[in-house]
A and B are shown apart, each in its own frame.
Chain A
Amino acid sequence: MYMADDSKLSNQKGVPVKATAHWRSPMSRRETHVLDTTMKVRTPENISFDYQITGPFQRAVAYGLDLLISLGGYFGLVFIIYLLFVFVVLPLASMLGGNAWVEALMGVLAGLISIGYFLVYWFYGTCMETYFNGQTFGKRITNMRVISTDGHAIDGVQATLRNFFRLLDIMPMVPLTALIQLDQSFSVGLPSCLVGLVIMTLGKNFQRVGDLVAGTVVVIEERKRRPNLETFLDDRVPQLAELIPTGFVAPASMVRVIADYIDRRKYLPFQRASEIAGHLAVPLMEKLGIRPDTDYDLFLCAFYYRTFMTAENNVREGEISWPGGGRFQPASVIPVVQTAVGGGDRGNPGRSSESRESRLAGETLESPVDPNLNVSDASAANQSSLKIREDE
């Protein structure tokens, strides 16, 4: 049972809800991700994917670890060498050449330690990032990696620049004497990192000054658990799924919303889940002719079940064969979904996307069993999105 005029749907409280279906360019998906800290990269394989950008505070942890490892490691080494000197080399030297030798050796050692400190302080990050593919020990522990802004691995020059310019990022230095009572001559500064913090918050990709100069970003490279599809123990879910008209193809954005909801519903109390589900379930059930007293949560579960478990998508067996099977579709012919504007026209080359837009805007919701909108033309439906918002 469908309403004649669906531009004014109403939810259970009687507040009118306006439903519009409209085309959005695939690129505008970016708009829906404004809060996400991701960076889109296009690779030579002609595929674009998102990197997750690292924020300032995670990076501070990595930097702290790096300082601990580099300087701690260095001074640990120095201490061992010093012990070696005191107990082995110096007694030998004093036996052979007397005090003058001991003095000379100690001086040489101290000089080398000073040079070593310089090298470790300025070049630890450079060497690590160049030779370990954009990772230092601290970044490896915290699952981060430095990459170029174009998505490629960094090279030695970039690694050097970004580590040199760290000096600016840790400014201004806070004199230690300002924090604790110390002799004025003991002029050690603690890095406040304010310049870096401010610059990072101004840009989109959390680049500090060194990153801006070198053209790099720091991304998270975490291992994500492969998510499984939800399974439902409730027998009513498949039964209810049967009731959803087979001709109805949900727009991609609606599928996304429902999948997100299903992923999270287990963390919500039952009433809250039902309340959230209601926003979408009420108009949708009305549209599809499901009894309005159906449980909202159950309905969305059924919708999810139908979309992912029972409905056929437009991929046919054998369309693409896989590495195990030998033949593989070359990368150049794989369409890039995010950039293929109007890619939905594959099914009906004769029609312009605008005409489909108007068609979808008027008809998708009104008549889901519209013969023009067959299931196999799912890519067209994917491109559209259902936007439901409350009118004032």
Chain B
Amino acid sequence: MKVAELIEKRSPLWVELETLCDVVGSRKKGADLETVTRFASLYRAACADLALAESYQLPPSTVDYLHRLVARAHNQLYRSRRFQWSDWYRTIFEITPGLIFKDPCIHLVTVMFWGLFLISATLAGEHSVWPGFAETVVGEDELESMCDMYKGFGGDRGLGVNSLMTGIYVNHNATIGLSCFVTMLFVLPGLITLSYNAVYLGTVFGYMFRPDLGDASVNFQNFVTAHGPFELTAIVLSAGAGMKIGLSWLMTGGLSRKDSLVKTARETLPIAMCAVVLFCLAAMIEGFVSPIGGDVLPWWVKGAVAVVSSCLLMIYFVVLGYPRHESEDDLNEI
């Protein structure tokens, strides 16, 4: 057969495939069975034409056209896999806590964050060991303005302001959490940021808990107690998840760097999403419970909120996350 004849013969099929690409691709009206079948067979025909282009001696421009056509049709034939809602229960309540429980990166980051936090809190709270530690780390002006801020704090703010602040906290804190997760890809800058934040937060806590600050200290305790567990855990989780990704391309475990990165990132995403959820919960508490003044809501209630949220976290991480008997799981899967 002559090339010109061949092209003339196939062209209508190619053009039809092109129009069917649009039909199958449009989301308004789902393509019916006949169309899809026709589309699939036209696609296979175009694939065959492309595969045999060389022995058909098709001109390069036609081959180019076929490449684009097949690529387009391929993208319509194989569509994106969406989130499987049925898998969510398993992901949220079985896989993610298990991952968090046994992940060495998260353990490491936890120890690092809390270690630095507690050390700086102690140094800032105690005058004797390192006098002027808090002033060196945070700066005198900033500490003073913080004291002023918390002195005038207290009382009920009303639903409007509380909602507004909740919205702002969600946006601000979850963004910080996600940034932390993402920037950990380059391990070192992420670690530096995490350490700095741990030291800074620890210092502020230690300083503000000093008994000689009076009102400011009481108000500060009143404010931070309730939402502390969720928020600090969320920071640790997002940093830990980020570090897992960051280390995956440094220590690949036999895979190529790219593959290792892709594989680990996929595994780690649930942990980051868990952190985002915790940030949102923390923001709710921070917006609606924390700002209520000590005269309206006694401090022990907030302490109780903190205890309950800590317990919930423990249940999630330890009870749900404790490794199950593998054999049982395997049997279930079979």
Contact = CB atoms under 8 A, between A and B. Distances in A.
Interface of A: 38, 41, 43, 45, 47, 49-52, 100, 103-108, 110-115, 117-118, 122, 129-134, 145, 147, 151-161, 164-165, 167-168, 209, 212-215, 219, 221-227, 229, 252, 255-256, 259-260, 263, 307-317, 320, 322-324, 328-329, 331, 334-337, 378-379, 382
A47 B70 contact: yes
Given A47-B47, A114-B171, A129-B80, 12 more contacts: A47-B48, A131-B80, A153-B80, A155-B81, A161-B265, A255-B59, A263-B59, A308-B2, A313-B1, A315-B52, A323-B45, A337-B51
Interface in B282-314: 287
A158 B80 CA distance: 10
Given A224-B68, A313-B6, A107 B78 contact: no
Contacts of B10: 322
Interface centre among A114, A157, A159, A229 (most CB of B within 10 A): A114
Contacts of B186: 168
Given A43-B47, A323-B41, A334-B48, A52 B74 contact: no
B185 A209 contact: yes
Contacts of B11: 226
A105 B65 contact: no
Contacts, number: 252
A107 B45 contact: no
Interface in B47-67: 47-48, 50-57, 59-62, 64-67
A108 B262 contact: no
Interface in B160-206: 160-168, 170-171, 174-175, 178-179, 181-183, 185-186
Contact of B55 (A38, A112, A158, A337): A337
Contacts of A51: 71
A280 to B, nearest CB: 15
Interface stretch (B13-21, B94-102, B219-227, B326-334): B13-21
Given A226-B11, A313-B57, A315-B6, A156 B258 contact: no
B272 A164 contact: yes
B42 interface: yes
B166 A111 contact: yes
Given A110-B164, A263-B61, A337-B52, A221 B175 contact: no
Contacts of B55: 313-315, 337, 378-379, 382
Contacts of A41: 71, 74
A80 B59 CA distance: 56
Given A49-B50, A221-B71, A322-B45, A111 B167 contact: yes
Contacts of A221: 68, 71-72, 75
Given A49-B50, A118-B171, A322-B13, A167 B179 contact: yes
B1 A156 contact: no
Contact of B82 (A104, A130, A310): A130
Contact of A153 (B1, B51, B78): B78
Given A221-B71, A227-B61, A161 B51 contact: no
A147 B75 contact: yes
Contact of B68 (A52, A155, A312, A323): A52
B48 A49 contact: no
B118 interface: no
A226 B265 contact: no
Interface centre among A49, A214, A221 (most CB of B within 10 A): A49
A122 to B, nearest CB: 7
A156 B48 contact: no
Contacts of A335: 51-52
27 contacts: A43-B47, A47-B70, A49-B47, A49-B66, A51-B71, A107-B163, A112-B167, A114-B167, A118-B171, A122-B175, A129-B80, A131-B82, A132-B80, A133-B75, A153-B78, A154-B80, A168-B183, A212-B262, A214-B265, A225-B65, A227-B59, A256-B60, A308-B2, A323-B42, A323-B45, A324-B13, A337-B53
Contact of B18 (A45, A223, A323, A382): A223
A161 B269 contact: yes
Nearest to B8: A229
A328 B44 contact: yes
A43 B72 CA distance: 13
A127 to B, nearest CB: 10
A164 B178 contact: yes
Contact of B164 (A45, A111, A222, A329): A111
Given A47-B47, A213-B261, A334-B52, A111 B18 contact: no
A212 B80 contact: no
B61 A259 contact: yes
A107 B2 contact: no
Given A110-B163, A323-B45, A145 B51 contact: no
Contacts of B74: 41, 43, 49, 151
A165 B185 CA distance: 9
B38 interface: yes
A315 B58 CA distance: 11
Contacts of A317: 1
B57 A252 contact: yes
Nearest to A329: B48
Contacts of B53: 337
Contact of A49 (B52, B70, B76, B179): B70
A228 to B, nearest CB: 8
A215 B262 contact: yes
B158 A104 contact: yes
